[in-house]
Structure 1
């Protein structure tokens, strides 16, 4: 899983670490096994048995009322003392069990607190990821809108350039006619070298128009002014002509 920088929105390849509580220790046993009888219980049991046997022997051998009462009491007190010892052993075992359980409860509570903190941290991270996702979605939508607007602007600019090119050709055509007839200074309807120089100079001063002087001279020098129609046809068809056949180059 990748980590995310919430402040910058950058996604890194570093692993996302979560503080997981350690597993409970195994192999040690939750509680120590209790023996069926403890040393004290065996001692108390032996004493109880001895007191009962002694009391019975005294009552049988002596037979007096006092002996009988004492024997009965001895026979009762011995087993009762043994019973009390077993109860004390059980209480001690219960106390140890309660302590172990309390330790385990405290450990589980600590683990629960750590898990709660981890959940809070992961919630913050998830919220940060959601914010990044929302930001990326907004950026994507904005970029899509920008691309559409840019495409529309490119289309409009292309149409404007086409109109400008057509207008430029019309201006060149108009100026070409006026320049050609204006350059025929001797009114002989023949374009000579001097008149061609003037024509080249004037067309060269027009913005956005490049003229191949040698081709223009070849097309008009020594020919009638009406030969300019061939030059005009070359201008109108310049987009469809090879570079070496063009007399004029219209720059967009």
Structure 2
């Protein structure tokens, strides 16, 4: 189908986006390669893969060294941003949740350091906040399409082989039979003995769950709890008042732009964050 034909916009998009995607992979690869040659590279997945290449390496070997680090980054760059946006919005709209989470961090960790991964089990309320971020506004409200391999019957519906199934993740995460007051950001629901199991459908289903889900949770946890947010900063609305709970549509849903105040909780907190930055 020619690109000028009605309905063939995807071909024009592909022609426009191809150099951007390839450039994102190649540019980062070339940067790490040059840093390795200069003896200035910091430890990374890319550096480890590139260091294994030699004169006998094939084009496929080189492409793997390019693609794996890029996939690790690009696979979470947009979804992680969405989750962090949702967290920030929730802290503004539900300030009592922010205060409870900060109180738990202060009680368990104190104010002489930032939390790290060894503190996770001792911070159950903070863990519940992260789970609620995923449930309240799923990053991918309709999940990823799946193709049915074998014909099946589900709750009286016949699903022929070859059908494309689009999972309604939003509906699952807002089912009032499972989550009371589903539109409310309520971390306490995850502390109940009969709380649903987690991880949940926000990361997919069965053997085809998101392969980066462990890294994704760790990345969001470190950003929310330690590096930038709860432990060190207060997140509050501006003088214009709280923002609206408004999101974009699309495969990945983002919070619509809003303004807020993010200020250090204390001079000690500010110094801890600066020390983290100076440590790289």
TM-score (norm 1): 0.23
**Higher RCO (CA-CA < 8 Å; seq separation 6+):** 2
Larger Rg: 1
TM-score (norm 2): 0.21
